[in-house]
Structure 1
Amino acid sequence: MMRISDIMEKEVINIKNGKKMGYITDIDLDINEGKVISFTILGDSRNFFSRGSDEDVVFFSDILKVGCDTIIVNLGSEINLDEFNIDKL
């Protein structure tokens, strides 16, 4: 079993584009079912007082793996290689 404080210390990374999303700042729970519904991630900052950063919501079903230091999620579309002028394989 994992504590909420343990989860909030892990960095969230999106596997689709490799982006470091930040750290979990809030957890949405369904008290009646006893399940986690979603996590709120505040930018790429661990500072609670930093306002103006982007907030992302990650649903529990989007989590692929919880590792020692990171949480891997599957969000959004894949990276666009044309944007970076990289030849596709």
Structure 2
Amino acid sequence: MIRVSDIMEKEIINVKNGKRMGFITDIDMDTNEGKIMSFTITGDLGRGIFSRNGEGQVIFWNDIIKIGCDTIIVNIGSELNIDEFNI
């Protein structure tokens, strides 16, 4: 079993593009079922209550691939576009 305080210290990483998304600031739970429904995260600039635009981004429980020691790996958004890089 994992504690909520432990989850909130983990950094969110998107497996589709490798980007660091930020940290959890809020958790939405279904209290009747005792299940986590989603997380709200801040941008990667810090651990403040709000992201840069004043709102957090929502990550749904179904989007989580793995909860590790230091990170939570999620699968959201589009694939990495290799054309963005000058290789």
Matches of 1:57 and 1:49, distance apart in 2: 12
1:65 matched to 2:66: yes
- When residues 84 and 49 of structure 1 are mapped into structure 2, their CA distance, relative to the original with a 3 A threshold, is closer
Partner of 1:9: 9
Q: Any unmatched runs of 5+ in structure 2?
A: none
- When residues 56 and 15 of structure 1 are mapped into structure 2, their CA distance, relative to the original with a 3 A threshold, is same
TM-score by structure 2 length? 0.89
Matches of 2:51 and 2:17, distance apart in 1: 25
Q: Any unmatched runs of 5+ in structure 1?
A: none
- When residues 52 and 29 of structure 1 are mapped into structure 2, their CA distance, relative to the original with a 3 A threshold, is same
Counting matched residue pairs gives 86
Q: Is the 8 A contact 2:17 2:79 kept in 1?
A: yes
Deviation at 1:33, TM superposition (A): 1.3
- When residues 84 and 51 of structure 1 are mapped into structure 2, their CA distance, relative to the original with a 3 A threshold, is closer
Matches of 1:34 and 1:48, distance apart in 2: 24
Larger mean Cα displacement after TM superposition, 45-54 or 12-21: 45-54
Matches of 1:50 and 1:64, distance apart in 2: 23
Partner of 2:77: 76
Tell me how large the CA RMSD over aligned residues is.
Answer: 1.7
Matches of 2:50 and 2:22, distance apart in 1: 14
